[in-house]
Amino acid sequence: MNQYSLGTNLLVLFVVITGCLLALPNIYGDDPALQISRTDGEAVEELAVGGIGAALDQAGVEHQPPESGDNRVLVRFSDVESQIKGAEVVGELLDDDSYVVAVTLAPRTPGWLRALRFKPMSLGLDLRGGVHFLFEVDLQTGINQYLERYAKDLQDELREARISRTVTVADGVIRVVIANLEDRDAAERIINDVNSVDDTIAVRESTVGGQPVFTLQLTDAQIKARQDFAIQQNIVTLRRRVDELNVAEPVVQRQGLSRIVVQLPGVQDSAGIKRIINSTATVEFRLVDAEGDAFEADRRGRAPLGSLLRYERNGTPVLLKRDVIASGDHLTDATSGYSQGQPAVFVNLNGRGADRMLDATSANLGRPMAVLFIEQNPKVVERNGEEVVITDRKETVISVATIQGVFSSRFQITGLTPFESQDLALLLRAGALAAPMYQVEERTIGPTLGRDNVEMGRLAIVVGFLAVVLFMAIYYRVFGLVANLALFVNLILLVALLSVIQASLTLPGIAGIVLTVGMAVDANVLIFERIREEIRNGSTPQASIKAGYEKAFSTIADANITTFIAALVLWLFGTGPIKGFAVVLSLGVATSMFTAIVGTRAVVNLIYGQRSVQSLSIGGRTSNATA
């Protein structure tokens, strides 16, 4: 007799029921909705929530009551037209930089499923809509920043060697003037050592007024290489930042000479995305000038020689030493967390930064040290009838603490809100942009555009599924119906897995589902043909069933393993939607193996395994032998 144990049957039943529950949120669909959030990450005030509902009622826009949660407000509408009109009304009501009103789709998942944290599949940009950004990279500013960093390294090395010098950067040229002629050879060695790291700058030497002068300038080829590097570095940084935000299958790629395209399918919080993408944040660790009077410097409007005047969040002035102990360039890792109940960012420094921090803390025990938080946000302004790019730079002292002990590579930054600590850790961990960039285009791709794709994809799946079901039912009779049942369960399990891992489904992913349908049936065809062959060889029905499943297994396994390898290669080397196709194909291999082999045999065992049979309804020639 062909029988599974009770445990195996219960396992199959458990997998099917669990799959049905996990896939259930997908049948409810979505509502057109507006998502209102604050740019600072704080919760939307109750007064604003009530004002949103009142404004929509006054404008005659049909809507559901606003829902608050996760520091956001969600307003659902019955159709896209009401959603668009509602966006205009709410946008006029909250005409403030403190709020962002985003058009989105809100799942209609019942509360009990949401309580279990069950979610529908994540749809890609071509199916669900999303946000499309186009950024222009300011390559010239990137070159200037590179030269300034290069000049700073030279300045530091020459200062440590006690060489009197003047280092200036102007018009793309670094000019190093050595005060004393006897320091010429030592200065030349230092300049060559710094330049030997990557040998990116051409060095010329001359003498002006008896003083050695070194001129460092990038050639045209080197400028082109630096520009390409800036674009590639920005792309890598943007990908890291988007990956940290858990946006499914983003597209980040170069367009033309100096532009980068970012596509974020199904994004809901466009304000948070833009804030993370556009911002350049770093930190500097500086000693506090405890001898100076910060309030007097604030009154006079200038800091004493050798100091900087900066301010804390509450407006308190602070005098800082000009020398930077370490900066974001020295960071190797940053994570957010809590220290003694307060939000904190835990940072690690590289070797050079650790050495500088060790020297500074060793020599300044008991003295205050400050953490200077620097934000740079490029923006476009109009001047004299022309659009120009300026960088809005904001420097804030976020922490002043007394150095209580000696430390080097590992320490923490406090004085932040939980929201700020998460953002700062993300930005520091993802890396800085090699060149500033500004947004030249933002396009929201609404859900209406993707509905045609969804309908066509659904039609393709339904047509393919019905064609296979009809063929299997006619050609393999009862066994064909069993295969059709397994095929239906296979689709449910595949949708359930996509819902659990929140892999973004795109048009190529739909193609992967259609391919999975054919693959799953292919395995059953191999099994059923093997059973037929055993019957033709004179085996009993029960023996034919057993031999059919056992002997076809190796062939099915080989075919699915090779398909999985192909999917793995696509995932490793593909980008964007290609990765989505690979993920769906890989999951399809797993679900089809389970349903075509374990699932169908469990059903066949229930039909034929509990009794003696003389023939099998499997089409073709059947056996009349007694089992």
Q: Is 10 exposed, middle or buried (0-12, 13-18, 19+ CB in 10 A)?
A: exposed
The rounded distance, in Å, linking the Cα atoms of 66 and 45 is 12
Q: Which residues does residue 264 pair with via DSSP β-bridges, in sequence order?
A: 131
What percent of the chain shows pLDDT beyond 90?
5
Question: Contact, 503 vs 512, CB < 8 A?
Answer: no
Res 346: pLDDT: 85
Res 327: pLDDT: 80
pLDDT in tens, 214-248: 888 888 888 888 788 788 778 877 877 776 555 54
From residue 308, give the alpha-carbon distance in Å to each of 156, 292, 323, 375, 598: 19, 11, 10, 17, 72
Question: 625 pLDDT band (50/70/90 cuts)?
Answer: very low
pLDDT in tens, 320-362: 998 888 887 677 777 788 888 888 888 888 777 888 889 888 9
pLDDT in tens, 259-276: 888 887 656 556 666 666
Structural domains of the chain in order of their starting residue, each with its CATH number:
6-24+450-608 (1.20.1640.10), 30-107 (3.30.70.260), 140-220 (3.30.980.10), 281-431 (3.30.1360.200)
The rounded distance, in Å, linking the Cα atoms of 285 and 573 is 41
pLDDT in tens, 174-218: 888 888 888 888 888 888 877 765 556 788 888 887 888 888 888
Nearest to 328 by CA among 260, 426, 261, 474: 426
The rounded distance, in Å, linking the Cα atoms of 534 and 538 is 7
The rounded distance, in Å, linking the Cα atoms of 605 and 627 is 14
Question: Contact, 197 vs 226, CB < 8 A?
Answer: no
Give all strands of the β-sheet with 331-339 in edge-to-edge order.
331-339, 342-349, 410-414
C-beta pairs of 79-83 under 8 Å, 24+ apart in sequence: 79/32, 80/32, 80/446, 80/447, 80/448, 82/32, 83/32, 83/33, 83/34
From residue 568, give the alpha-carbon distance in Å to each of 86, 238, 565, 583: 44, 25, 5, 8
Res 553: pLDDT: 87
Kindly calculate the radius of gyration of the chain based on its CA atoms and give it in whole angstroms: 33
SS3 label, residue 347:
strand
Nearest to 336 by CA among 425, 265, 274: 425
Question: Contact, 246 vs 269, CB < 8 A?
Answer: no
Nearest to 315 by CA among 329, 293, 298: 298
Res 432: pLDDT: 59
Question: 15 pLDDT band (50/70/90 cuts)?
Answer: very high
The rounded distance, in Å, linking the Cα atoms of 447 and 81 is 12
- Give mean pLDDT, residues 63-76: 83
For 210-269, give the secondary structure using H, E and C.
CEEEEEEECCHHHHHHHHHHHHHHHHHHHHHHHHHCCCCCCEEEEECCCEEEEEEECCCC
Rounded mean pLDDT of the chain?
A: 80
Highest mean pLDDT among 268-282, 300-314, 569-583: 300-314
- Give mean pLDDT, residues 496-524: 82
Alpha helices per DSSP H over 129-195: 139-160, 184-195
Flag whether pLDDT at 291 surpasses 60.
yes
Nearest to 522 by CA among 470, 583, 597, 581: 597
Question: Contact, 410 vs 215, CB < 8 A?
Answer: no
Res 347: pLDDT: 82
Res 48: pLDDT: 78
